[in-house]
């Protein structure tokens, strides 16, 4: 990895975000440089706000488990990535600290345990089969993002989240565009704010429709939240904000690791063949994909609630701190030769989903989705390969969710 670090000159501080990606969607080289030379590194967000970036796994875990750093970004003047994005919506799990976070999370917890997510596996497999059937009958080459990787989580989420029929078309055709705009680091602050408002309005429309129907059967996350609001367990803001959270994370955040993961698997054909020969290896392949790739580079900021010193740098009260999970999962102290994609690693990649009370609610769901997506795709098309040279893949690298814009493939 030192050879990789030496490929870049010392950057000007604060380092302007977004950073240029590494090869084929791997971490930006500047993250490796910062880990070695500036473990508490000054950066500048697209909004113009300055922040600190931590890049060592031990430091990242420390902050994630420290109540001296807050996730609540709903206050006036809070640090934003580029504009008034999803972090401005009050009440969602994005923005809650304990004990409120624990109270709301408890309402949802049973739906996102390993057992809770396994019940959705047949549904995801059904959607995968239908999309792959259509892809097989369609033209070659084809854009795998459009035909499969972008469609699978979106369409499965319609059923998992029990989106009412009258809102499904909007979710499939319109909501995704608003999510993309609200997370676009190059969009204007006004456009980001408008897109975020539309996401909130869509969540409110779903809630209103569900309230008009019989919610006595709350065996889904949306119904459980509505019932918890009726019983006074959560507030209206927490209901709306958390529905927004589920809508956003239930689809778009899965497309990134599915897309980058598929690319990396195609480029490591021998490991795909191992999985096809022994399907019990697919979970290990997924674990290595989520270590090697993350759905974003920098992550959402946290705010220091008091002065804290790390590596002789004083992080002042109200300073923003960013924790790139790719910094943690490529930390050579914990993952030997992190640049090598190896499904036989003995280490796990749980840190990619966070640490502490904000450990990602959907970690088990994401793992299951990726297992189904990869195994179904490569079992159907074992010789799947890129239809263009690697260097010509267009990357969507100016959003929070890092992924190829398209992935032309043939088989």
pLDDT per residue as tens digits for the range 119-160? 999 999 999 999 999 999 999 999 999 999 999 999 999 999
Q: How many CA atoms lie within 13 A of 160 on its CB side?
A: 31
- pTM, whole model, 2 decimals? 0.94
Mind listing the pLDDT tens digit for each residue in 339-360? 999 999 998 899 999 999 989 9
3 state SS of 335? coil
60 Cβ neighbours under 8 A, 6+ residues apart? 54, 323, 324, 325, 327, 328, 351, 355
Q: How many domains does the chain have?
A: 1
The per-residue pLDDT for 402 is 85
pLDDT score at 264: 97
- The closest alpha carbon to 373, from 58, 79, 154, belongs to 154
CA atoms within 13 A on the CB side of 76: 0
d(CA 85, CA 265): 33
Q: How confident is the model at residue 1 (pLDDT cuts 50, 70, 90)?
A: low
Domain residues for the domain of 336 are 2-410
pLDDT digits (tens, 9 = 90+) for 232-282: 999 999 999 999 999 988 887 899 999 999 999 999 999 999 999 999 999
137 contact partners, CB below 8 Å, separation of at least 6? none
Instruction: Check residue 321 and give its pLDDT.
Output: 98
CATH code: domain of residue 391: 1.10.630.10
Q: Which of 181, 222, 207 is nearest to 86 (CA)?
A: 181
DSSP element (H, E) containing 371: helix 363-380
> CA-CA distance, 208 to 216, in Å (whole number)?
15
């Amino acid at each position: 990895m030192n050879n990789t670090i030496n490929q870049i000159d010392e950057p000007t501080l604060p380092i302007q975000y977004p950073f240029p990606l590494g090869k084929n969607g791997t971490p930006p080289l500047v993250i490796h440089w910062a880990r070695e030379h500036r473990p508490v590194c000054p950066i500048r967000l697209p909004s113009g706000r300055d922040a600190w970036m931590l890049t060592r796994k031990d430091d990242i875990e420390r902050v994630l488990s420290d109540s001296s750093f807050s996730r609540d970004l709903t206050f006036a003047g809070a640090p934003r990535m580029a504009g008034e994005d999803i972090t401005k919506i009050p009440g969602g799990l994005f923005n809650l600290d304990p004990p409120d976070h624990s109270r709301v999370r408890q309402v949802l917890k049973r739906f996102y345990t390993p057992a809770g997510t396994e019940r959705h596996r047949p549904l995801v497999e059904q959607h995968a089969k239908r999309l792959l059937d259509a892809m097989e009958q369609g033209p070659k080459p084809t854009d795998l993002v459009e035909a499969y990787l972008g469609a699978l989580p979106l369409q499965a989420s319609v059923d998992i989240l029990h989106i009412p029929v009258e809102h499904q078309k909007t979710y499939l055709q319109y909501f995704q565009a608003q999510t993309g705009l609200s997370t676009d680091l190059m969009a204007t602050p006004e456009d980001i704010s408008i897109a975020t408002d539309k996401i909130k309005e869509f969540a409110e429309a779903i809630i209103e429709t569900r309230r008009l129907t019989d919610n006595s059967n709350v065996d889904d996350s949306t119904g459980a939240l509505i019932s918890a609001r009726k019983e006074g367990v959560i507030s209206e803001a927490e209901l709306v904000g958390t529905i927004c959270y589920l809508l956003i994370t239930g689809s778009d955040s899965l497309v990134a690791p599915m897309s980058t993961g598929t690319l990396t698997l195609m480029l490591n054909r021998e490991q795909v063949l191992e999985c096809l020969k022994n399907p019990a290896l697919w979970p290990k392949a997924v674990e290595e994909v989520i270590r090697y790739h993350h759905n974003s580079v920098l992550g959402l900021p946290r705010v220091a609630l008091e002065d804290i010193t790390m590596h002789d740098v004083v992080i002042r009260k109200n300073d923003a701190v960013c924790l790139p999970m790719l910094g943690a999962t490529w930390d050579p102290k914990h993952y030997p030769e992190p640049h090598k994609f190896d499904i036989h690693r003995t280490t796990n990649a749980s840190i990619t989903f966070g640490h502490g009370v904000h450990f990602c609610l959907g970690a088990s769901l994401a793992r299951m989705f990726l297992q189904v997506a990869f195994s179904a795709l490569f079992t159907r098309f074992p010789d799947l390969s890129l239809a263009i040279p690697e260097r010509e893949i267009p990357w969507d690298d100016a959003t929070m969710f890092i992924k190829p814009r398209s992935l032309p493939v043939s088989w």
